[in-house]
Amino acid sequence: MGMTISQKILAKKSNRDEVKPGEIVMADVDLAFANDITAPIAIDFVRKLGVNVFDESRIALIPDHFTPNKDINSANQCKIMRDFVKERGLPNYWETGEVGIEHALLPEQGYVKPGMLIVGADSHTCTHGALGAFATGMGSTDVGFAFATGKSWFRVPESIKFVYRGKRNRWVVGKDLILYTIGKIGVAGALYKSMEFTGDAIFELPMEDRLTMCNMAVEAGAKNGIVPPDGVTVDYLKSRGVEPSEYEMLASDTDAEYSDIVEINVSNIEPQVAFPHLPSNTKGISEIKEDIKIDQAFIGSCTNGRLSDLREAAKVLKGNKVAKYVRLIVIPATVEVYREALKEGLFDIFLDAGAVISTPTCGPCLGGYMGILADGEVCVSTSNRNFVGRMGSKKAFVYLSSPAVAAASAVAGKIVHPDEVIK
């Protein structure tokens, strides 16, 4: 029996000819990283072991959640990271002014390549599977072990193959495909399994949309999300300064065994909205019959803060004004995205519409800062989670959508289809 792409990566990194679902393997890690919330615990673990890191070039520390520091506690968290970086001479560290959200920054900077095994102390590490890597989130202590040894243990997951076919409708992007999929299978529908995204409709997606889809694999309970690498992958990596000689492109065997195969016709999918308080509580936008008035719209996060996301939002916002009493917050995911959006004139469109623009940060997505919700407030967000209390008050309500829907809703003051406000 053949192996899936995820199984092939785990086999290769554990120096085995093959692995089977359910087996426990100890595998070599290619990249391990943590952020300002999770890194201090990992660092403390390394210190207690009394060892150096396994390879300075394969560790990344990224202060992205509460930077620029919002208070004394967050400043101290970042200082722990900074002191460790200085002490150990770690090259892969980005200070305020150059840092971006980790799951956007690492692919953008060419650190993620096909065939890699990546662990991060953040649940959305699965984002990096968009480039044909096996990437998964772990607890801080587990990542600390990887920092120290270059290894981590895995239970080989079963795989579910999701085959997307057909032509996407206008305004339907990767965010809509993954929201539709999670709505179809539920938040535990891929529990500890690999979600393998394939089919003609996937291979027509740009890399940014693939990153969005893999980012939210964990919202279906998955161990990882992965897209088999193709020409789009090669072109993206070349644009990041990474040549084909630097990586290995793997693919699932034709006789690989899957726990399930899910066929999805994307031509039947319209822009999706996930209602409170689960990412699986999805509806097509035409199914929304009531007026859902909003207090805030947020465009950003590791899910939808890339340049293509800001361009989609700008298409909707151009010539429009944000509704009275609605706050529109736009946060580019990285400094490169920020700079290019500024150069393209997107900031002028956002500012003319009445939006506020922040430096790169995870901020509002986790209820940290830069957009906390009060009791009873409603937000439409391009982020990945809408759990109770996720963006502030436990009495607030968060709806998930694509950037275009979030932008349109900011203009209308309620959740609407982009076509309703386009000028």
Beta-carbon-side half-sphere exposure of residue 310 (alpha carbons within 13 Å): 31
Q: Given this model, what pLDDT does residue 1 score?
A: 78
Beta-carbon-side half-sphere exposure of residue 7 (alpha carbons within 13 Å): 23
- Quick check: helix, strand or coil at residue 79? helix
pLDDT of 423 higher than 80? no
**Structure tokens that stand for 7 in this block:** 């199984």
Q: pLDDT by residue (tens digit) across 266-316?
A: 999 999 999 999 999 999 999 999 999 999 999 999 999 999 999 999 999
Helices (DSSP H) in 30-71: which residue ranges? 39-49
Strand, coil or helix: what is 106? helix
Alpha-carbon distance 24 to 144, whole Å?
A: 19
Q: Which one-letter amino acid corresponds to residue 238? A: K
Fold of 274-420: Aconitase; domain 3 (3.30.499)
Residue 371 pLDDT > 80: yes
Say if domain 5-265 classifies as CATH 3.90.870.10: no
Q: Where in the chain is the domain with CATH 3.30.499.10?
A: 5-265, 274-420
Residue-wise pLDDT for 315-359, tens only, equals 999 999 999 999 999 999 999 999 999 999 999 999 999 999 999
Whole-model pTM? 0.96
pLDDT at 46 over 90: yes
pLDDT given for residue 339 in this prediction: 97
Query: What is the percent of the chain with per-residue pLDDT over 70, rounded to a whole number?
Result: 100
Q: What is the pLDDT of residues 219-232, one digit of tens each?
A: 999 999 999 999 99
* Predicted local distance difference test score (pLDDT) of residue 245: 96
Average of pLDDT values for 159-184?
97
Contacts of 393 (CB under 8 A, 6+ apart): 372, 373, 374, 375, 376, 377
Report pLDDT for 99: 96
Beta strand pairing call for 151-155 and 378-381: unpaired
Provide mean pLDDT across the span 176-195: 97
pLDDT at 41: 97
Q: Assess contact for 381 and 401: CB atoms under 8 A.
A: yes
Mind listing the pLDDT tens digit for each residue in 106-165?
Answer: 999 999 999 999 999 999 999 999 999 999 999 999 999 999 999 999 999 999 999 999
Average pLDDT of the residues in 238-256:
96
The interaxial angle of helices 346-353 and 335-343, nearest 10 deg, is 80
pLDDT surpasses 90 at 43 = yes
Q: d(Cα 278, Cα 281) in Å, to the nearest integer?
A: 5
Looking at residues 37-44, what average pLDDT do you find? 97
